[in-house]
């Protein structure tokens, strides 16, 4: 006897041979800032696997070249461009170069970010400025030139990678929490400006994800954080990449101005 699951599989197989599956991506040129990072890498891989052309920006040349070679060995063709996203002129130059090489960018993931943690009493003006310019100014610097190509194409997907700590604040992170909360304000304003042009703008707010950033936290503090996560584990970069890939799909055009918490239930608002 054929089970319901087998019937569903047969329908799915027939669909795959006759019509494209609902999730099949139209190939796009995607720019992922911070693509060489722990989360950024998984976002790049996921978008490339969906059939997109993926470029990333980097500052650290040695790291970026090794990253590209490692991913090429795994079968991924990714494009790397040197660019300090905290610098507006450099960002404009890099966007032009990517478009000249690969075509108009219609998917943008702003994932570049840094932390410089300390309490406000001890925070220098440089530590404040560095975090704001790398995490928040960078979103303006890259989105501004990329938006022109999205408007010309009447299609765009912008995903800003914020943080749980932009939602709830965090001791020792006044600079980072301010920048990450600011990203979502940017998302909501821009989402309204471009909604009628086929462009969506959303924020993804990861909780604690098991990357070098988390491995740098002393073990007792790490275990204390983990005990507060209802799902009982740190997130994986793949958890964040999964949400990003969903938001950039054609079928996600009705989701805009949203903040998708990806934190294992650690913070709910």
Ligand X SMILES: NC(=O)c1ccc[n+]([C@@H]2O[C@H](COP(=O)([O-])OP(=O)(O)OC[C@H]3O[C@@H](n4cnc5c(N)ncnc54)[C@H](OP(=O)(O)O)[C@@H]3O)[C@@H](O)[C@H]2O)c1
User: What is the nearest approach in angstroms of ligand X to the Cβ of residue 197?
Assistant: 26
CB nearer ligand X, residue 54 or residue 155: 54
Helices 38-49, 237-248: inter-axial angle, 10-degree rounding: 40
Residue 262 near ligand X by CB under 6 A: no
Instruction: Out of 39, 108, 146, 199, point to the residue binding ligand X (CB under 6 A).
Output: 39
Q: Where does this chain touch ligand X (CB under 6 A) — which range of 2-10, 101-109, 148-156, 208-216? A: 208-216
CB nearer ligand X, residue 37 or residue 264: 37
Residue 182 near ligand X by CB under 6 A: no
Our answer to whether residue 176 is catalytic in this structure is: yes
CB nearer ligand X, residue 36 or residue 106: 36
Instruction: Out of 211, 245, 256, 259, point to the residue binding ligand X (CB under 6 A).
Output: 211
Contact string 154-173 vs ligand X (x = CB under 6 A): -------x-x----------
Residue 134 near ligand X by CB under 6 A: yes
Instruction: Out of 8, 51, 63, 96, point to the residue binding ligand X (CB under 6 A).
Output: 63
As annotated, the active-site residues are: 176
Binding site for ligand X (CB under 6 A): 33-34, 36-40, 57-60, 63-64, 83-86, 111-114, 134, 138, 161, 163, 206, 208-209, 211-214
């Amino acid at each position: 006897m054929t089970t319901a699951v087998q019937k569903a599989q047969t329908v799915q197989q027939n669909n795959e041979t006759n019509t494209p599956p609902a999730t099949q991506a139209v190939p796009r040129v995607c720019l992922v800032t911070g693509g060489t990072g722990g989360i950024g890498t998984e976002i790049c891989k996921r978008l490339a696997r969906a059939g997109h052309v993926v470029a990333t920006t980097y500052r650290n040349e040695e790291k970026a070249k090794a990253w590209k070679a490692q991913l090429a060995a795994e079968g991924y063709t990714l494009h790397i461009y040197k660019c300090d996203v905290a610098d507006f002129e450099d960002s404009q130059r890099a966007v032009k170069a990517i478009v000249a090489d690969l075509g108009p960018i219609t998917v943008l993931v702003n994932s570049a970010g840094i932390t410089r943690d300390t309490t406000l009493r001890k925070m220098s003006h440089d530590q404040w400025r560095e975090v704001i310019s790398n995490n928040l100014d960078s979103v303006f610097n890259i989105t501004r030139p990329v938006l022109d190509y999205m408007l010309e194409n009447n299609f765009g997907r912008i995903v800003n990678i914020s943080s749980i700590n932009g939602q709830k604040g965090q001791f020792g992170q006044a600079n980072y929490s301010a920048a990450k909360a600011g990203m979502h304000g940017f998302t909501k304003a821009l989402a309204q400006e471009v909604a009628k042009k086929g462009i969506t703008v959303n924020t993804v707010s990861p909780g604690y994800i098991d990357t070098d950033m988390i491995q740098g936290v002393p073990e007792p503090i790490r275990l204390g954080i983990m005990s507060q996560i209802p799902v009982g584990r740190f997130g994986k970069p793949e958890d964040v990449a999964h949400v990003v890939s969903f938001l950039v799909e054609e079928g996600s055009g009705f989701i805009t101005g949203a903040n998708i918490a990806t934190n294992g239930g650690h913070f709910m608002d």
